[in-house]
Structures are given as structure tokens and as C-alpha cells.
């Protein structure tokens, strides 16, 4: 039986120094049947030119290579467009500053075929954190979920979002059916994984299969934005699917988020410290309403204004 076509979607924005390494890591995959979709999201640097040169030099490696360009709309919109343009059942999503290790796609596709789980919608693995030169800074060492499909992954995801985007493979049909990434959120990934986990299984493949690059322009390094997105995401999930989470887990989740937010507030927003401490104490006995999460998101927006 022939292998299925597998897609790789690369949303790209102002990553000219890293894009060649990113695309070469796709070209060097041991899995043979690949298509590559690149969406340049209105880059102001040479990202588009780098992508054009790569496409001209290596078009023969791929069964289909498509380069799209749009005005700047953000990573969620670029990712949605790239995934929608794919033709494979499974899409490996890759940030334009990250890299895949050579056997990433082959290992994950073998696992998907072996599980033969029709409700599976997302597969991920462990990740190395790399610097601007591609040198490993550290690896994900936190206790990881067991390998294999999890039909209640939201129970883990609301506590720890261990799904590194560079390692993700998505079932295209399931992703599109839930509306893709929410383009109104500044950080889109956790919201999407949670929405997928309500109706589908999510699976971890053990092993370090990709490198996530840390550098000065990483969105995740903008802490207030990360806090705002997480508060909004958890508020949205609590409003829509809060009954899936046991009350004690909601309370523990809030305390964990508040501890992290408190460390940030001690350096950046002293006026929030009494509010945070009060809500942490209340969480010992009271399950937080969705409005609590939304309120903290609003405070983050006010601080950024």
C-alpha cells in the first residue's frame, strides 16, 4: 500500500534569517511523499525572497509546493490559510523560525497509522529549545503525558500546555471543522488544542522530534500578551465547556496561574498583588466563575494600553 500524501504548512513573518534552516529541515525529511505550503504574512524583511529562492531550487522534492503571499494579518490567519490550502489528511504545522528533525514526520505518521484511531485530531512530541544559531539550550523535561491517544486531553491542557507548536501534526478536516485558530487571540495555540480535545483525541509521540527557536522576537516572550491570551482562553473554555472540568481541578488551575501572574506582578504591577492574593485564597474554597478569568485578561489589556 502506498504512503499517503502528508502536508507541511509554514506561516512565515519576518524570519528571513531563520527561514532557510526551517525549509531545509522539511526538505530533509525521511518521509517521501510531501507537499509544502508557505504563506508569507506580509513580511517587511527578505522572508518572501528567501521562500521564492527555496521554491525555485527545491520544487522537485515535493509533490506540490505552493507559496502564497498576503498582507499582514497575524500568525493565526496565516496558519489558517496555509492549512486550508493543504491537500493531505495530516498537516504538520511549522513556525518559520523552527526546525524539524529528519525523522519527525515519518515517526509521527507511523504512530498515527499504528493507532488507527478515527477520532485522533492532533499529534505532538517532545521538543528541544534552540538558540539563534540552532544550538540546543534545553529540552522539555516536565513530566509528560503517557504516549498514545488521550480522549480527555483537556484535563491536562488546562494545567500545562505541553504541546509545542513545532512538533504538531493536525488532522486537517477536524481542524477546519472547529474553525481553525481563533484570529482574535494574540496567542492562538492553547485555545485551538482545547477546542479540539472536546471532540477528538490528542496523542503524544515520545521523543525529541523538533527544535523550537528562542530569540528576541518570539511572541511568547512578551509576557503580558501570553498572560492575556491564557486568561481569555481559559475564560472562553470555562464558559463553553466548564462542566467537563472537576471543580477541584478548576481551583488548582487558577492557583497555578495566579502564582505565575504574581511573580510577574511583583516586578511589573504591584497594584495587582492584593487582588491576586485574595483570589488565590478564595480559590481554596470557591470554584472560579468564568468571569474571574476574563477579569484578569481585561487587566492585562489595561496594563498594555
3-state secondary structure the chain: CCCCCEEEEEEECCCHHHHHHHHHHHHCCCCCCEEEEEEEECCCCCHHHHHHHHHHHHHHHCCEEEEEEECCCCHHHHHHHHHHHCCCCEEEECCCCCEECCCHHHHHHHHHHHHCCCCEEEEEEEEEEECCCCCEEEECCCCCCCCEEECCCHHHHCCCCCCCHHHCEEEHHHHHHCCCCCCCCCCCHHHHHHHHHHHCEEEEEEEEEEEEECCCCCHHHCHHHHHHHHHHHHHHHHHHHHHHCCHHHHHHHHHHHHHHHHHHHHHHCHHHHHHHHHHHHHCCCCCCCHHHHHHHHHHHHHHHC
For residues 108 and 158, what is the distance between their CA atoms, to the nearest angstrom? 24
76 & 190 share domain: yes
Whether the Cβ atoms of residue 190 and residue 150 lie closer than 8 Å to each other: no
236 & 213 share domain: no
245 & 198 share domain: no
Task: Report yes or no on 242 lying in a domain.
Answer: yes
Task: Report yes or no on 179 lying in a domain.
Answer: yes
97 & 183 share domain: yes
197 & 241 share domain: no
- The predicted-structure confidence for 65-117, as pLDDT tens digits, reads as follows 999 999 999 999 999 999 999 999 999 999 999 999 999 999 999 999 999 99
Name the residue range of residue 46's domain: 6-217
Q: What is the pLDDT of residue 221?
A: 46
69 & 185 share domain: yes
Task: Report yes or no on 266 lying in a domain.
Answer: yes
Q: Which of 195, 217, 239 is the last residue of a domain?
A: 217
- The predicted-structure confidence for 172-193, as pLDDT tens digits, reads as follows 999 999 999 999 887 779 999 9
128 & 198 share domain: yes
For residues 15 and 122, what is the distance between their CA atoms, to the nearest angstrom? 26
What is the distance, to the nearest Å, from the Cα of residue 13 to the centroid of all Cα atoms in its chain?
A: 16
Task: Report yes or no on 267 lying in a domain.
Answer: yes
Q: Which of 176, 195, 217 is the last residue of a domain?
A: 217
For residues 46 and 138, what is the distance between their CA atoms, to the nearest angstrom? 29
127 & 272 share domain: no
**In CATH, what number is assigned to the domain containing residue 144?**
3.90.550.10
213 & 226 share domain: no
Task: Report yes or no on 1 lying in a domain.
Answer: no
Which positions ≥6 away from 63 have C-beta within 8 Å?
5, 33, 34, 35
As to burial, measured by CB atoms within 10 angstroms (0-12 exposed, 13-18 middle, 19+ buried), residue 158 is buried
Q: Which of 161, 190, 217 is the last residue of a domain?
A: 217
86 & 191 share domain: yes
253 & 299 share domain: yes
User: Which one, of 284, 216, 213, 205, lies nearest residue 250 by Cα?
Assistant: 284
246 & 203 share domain: no
**Residues of the chain whose pLDDT is less than 50?**
219-221
Q: What is the pLDDT of residue 11?
A: 97
- Tell me how many domains the chain contains: 2
Whether the Cβ atoms of residue 51 and residue 67 lie closer than 8 Å to each other: yes
155 φ/ψ angles, rounded to the nearest 5 degrees = -65, -30
Amino acid at each position: 500500500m502506498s504512503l499517503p500524501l502528508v502536508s507541511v504548512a509554514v506561516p512565515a513573518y519576518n524570519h528571513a534569517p531563520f527561514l532557510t534552516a526551517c525549509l531545509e529541515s522539511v526538505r530533509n525529511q525521511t518521509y517521501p511523499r510531501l507537499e509544502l505550503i508557505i504563506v508569507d504574512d506580509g513580511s517587511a524583511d527578505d522572508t518572501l525572497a528567501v521562500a521564492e529562492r527555496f521554491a525555485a531550487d527545491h520544487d522537485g522534492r515535493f509533490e506540490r509546493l505552493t507559496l502564497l503571499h498576503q498582507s499582514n494579518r497575524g500568525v493565526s490567519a496565516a496558519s489558517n490559510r496555509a492549512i486550508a490550502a493543504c491537500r493531505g489528511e495530516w498537516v504538520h504545522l511549522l513556525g518559520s523560525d523552527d526546525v524539524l528533525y529528519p525523522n519527525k514526520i515519518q515517526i509521527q505518521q507511523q504512530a498515527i497509522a499504528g493507532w488507527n484511531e478515527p477520532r485522533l485530531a492532533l499529534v505532538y512530541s517532545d521538543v528541544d529549545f534552540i538558540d539563534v544559531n540552532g544550538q540546543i539550550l534545553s529540552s522539555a523535561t516536565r513530566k509528560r503525558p503517557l504516549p498514545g491517544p488521550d480522549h480527555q486531553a483537556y484535563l491536562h491542557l488546562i494545567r500545562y500546555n505541553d504541546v509545542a507548536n513545532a512538533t504538531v501534526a493536525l488532522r486537517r478536516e477536524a481542524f477546519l471543522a472547529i474553525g481553525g485558530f481563533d484570529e482574535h487571540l494574540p496567542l492562538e495555540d492553547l485555545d485551538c488544542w482545547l477546542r479540539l480535545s472536546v471532540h477528538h483525541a490528542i496523542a503524544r509521540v515520545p521523543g525529541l522530534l523538533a527544535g523550537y527557536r528562542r530569540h528576541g522576537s518570539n511572541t511568547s516572550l512578551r509576557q503580558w500578551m501570553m498572560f492575556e491570551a491564557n486568561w481569555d482562553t481559559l475564560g472562553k473554555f470555562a464558559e463553553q465547556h466548564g462542566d467537563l472540568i472537576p471543580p477541584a481541578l478548576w481551583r488548582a488551575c487558577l492557583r497555578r496561574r495566579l502564582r505565575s501572574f504574581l511573580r510577574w506582578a511583583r516586578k511589573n504591577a504591584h497594584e495587582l498583588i492584593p487582588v491576586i492574593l485574595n483570589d488565590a485564597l478564595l480559590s481554596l474554597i470557591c470554584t472560579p466563575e468564568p468571569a474571574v478569568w476574563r477579569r484578569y485578561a481585561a487587566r492585562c489589556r489595561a496594563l498594555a494600553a
